[in-house]
Structure 1
């Protein structure tokens, strides 16, 4: 076992977390714990309010927003993990010294990441087909009409997530340790493959969809550009989520594994702090995803504003309100060429 720099914490005894799970710098991790507490304090009410809108105001099952609702569910899995993770960091541990808790945390975090990425990419692909291949059969639009598809997607994620339960994944980065067995090495290798492919492949798809939609926007006439601009904002919001939440930690992961395999302990103590810090940054996806909801469906945005924003902000954010004949409410926005009415359920 490669030793690490001590931090004033007592040495771990048999049955507790090995030394490489101690934090290399207690000040850094206490700071990160406060960041996670802040993410939890902001993320819990935000996602609760989003959940309320989706169920009671927007009625997601009637508005073909099942995939957006699944992203909310994935974010709740993440928010639930933040207090536990912050507790461990404040106590000088990068993971729980209870193997059951450690595995459950890893399972939840892997599942959240996989589900968030899967449904975000599906939304981007849907916009791609609606814009670039308009008129052709859009298989994503067919999938959106069937809630059972979402259940299938969650079930397909399990084979990629369950390996976190098979063998203790020491400090989320055991690959390269000298005491690995063949089984342990295969399990860790599979985890690393999953970790990188679930980021890199979707990002390539996302970049492709974005480039094609932007090119399509440039070729369209002025009268057709409003819908295309909205599609660009959707995919660009997903790009922002990827660029802030997923790509930095993925790059840091590559550096961390490289340093570990070279057995440069001093460098590893520094890189591991950067990696854990960027992982904490990745948890902000529970705060950024609502931006995607707003760009994907203007009806959700208007319902959220009308429910939670003060009156003086509503007047600024929503141009005017008109009540339709069925007793519902619509938001009317006026441009130089046309007027668009967006329903609020």
Structure 2
């Protein structure tokens, strides 16, 4: 009975908080719905290409990693309608909540992991092409992909066993630092900060190699690799760093004034919405990673752009 009363009090407080910030959370919910619709459309068209046109299982190493990346994004998008609903409501189905959180933790981690592996593969291919052993290991893309999924699932499952985890972050109750909470936070910060540092290092090394390269052909290849890795770093900086930094601030705010804490919770929810933007930006990265993929995508889904480009080429030829 006591547990039930505590739960009811928590829901009453949460509902009061929602009523006080109704417009803000309706806006957050609308942003998530837009990201869900656009992200699902983009990623379904991409996965259609990988399966029916490119046939990724017969293609290069990079295509298998890219397929797993788009798969992670689609699985992450599946949980967004629940997230949009929870931004407006306090009542939660615990099973649905935990499934949504599992999808969020697992697939965001997988998306980050595959982005990082793709960048590392590009880095070794253009900066250290002589290290054939490393490149050979990275070419075992099916085995690496399975390992990433299994590892992330193992690290995610224990965090879902904790009963206090809520789909709503608007109710800013403090959490005891139990071993499960510590594990969850270690996994959360590790899967964001370490890949970001790896990507920054890859970008710096590619730039250094580009400056020392004299061959025009090699410079073109290096510029393409540098552009790709730098774009991934930018995606991280926009989508994940504000989210992770605000989470770190949240964990440090156990003794601050309640008004300040509520403000940080709102900011954290805003950056959660921003983090889902990753699912929209990833399809752009697929095009950047392969000129062939870009042409194939445009020819099938945006043929009017292809016709316009071809017409411009004909006009240029006629002028000459």
In which range does the TM-score fall when normalised by the shorter chain? 0.7 to 0.9
Q: Distance in 2 between matches of 1:289 and 1:229?
A: 20
Relative distance call for 1:269 and 1:191 in structure 2 (3 A) is same
Structure 1, unpaired ranges of 5+: 1-11, 322-345
1:164 paired to 2:184: no
Q: How many residue pairs end up in the alignment?
A: 302
Relative distance call for 1:173 and 1:35 in structure 2 (3 A) is closer
1:121 paired to 2:116: yes
Q: Distance in 2 between matches of 1:304 and 1:314?
A: 10
Match of 2:225 among 220, 224, 231: 231
What SS does the aligned partner of 2:55 have? coil
1:62 Cα deviation after fit:
2.0
Match of 1:36 in 2: 32
Please list the CA deviations of residues 219-259 of structure 1 after superposition, one character each: whole Å capped at 9, or x if unmatched: 11141211001101110121121011111101111122222
Structure 2, unpaired ranges of 5+: 314-320
C-alpha contact (below 8 Å) 2:68/2:145 kept by paired residues: yes
1:73-152 alignment runs, 5 A limit = 73-91=71-89, 93=90, 97-152=92-147
C-alpha contact (below 8 Å) 1:54/1:300 kept by paired residues: no
1:278 paired to 2:259: no
C-alpha contact (below 8 Å) 2:125/2:135 kept by paired residues: no
Match of 2:47 in 1: 51
Q: Which runs of 4+ in 1 moved over 3 A?
A: 12-17, 19-24, 140-146, 170-174, 176-180, 315-321
Higher share in strand: 1
What SS does the aligned partner of 1:90 have? coil
Match of 2:318 in 1: none
Higher share in helix: 2
Deviates more, 1:187-196 or 1:204-213: 187-196
TM-score where L is the length of structure 1: 0.80
1:80 Cα deviation after fit:
0.5
Relative distance call for 1:101 and 1:170 in structure 2 (3 A) is same
Please list the CA deviations of residues 234-291 of structure 1 after superposition, one character each: whole Å capped at 9, or x if unmatched: 10121121011111101111122222x1242111111101100101110011100011
Match of 2:316 in 1: none
1:297 paired to 2:290: yes
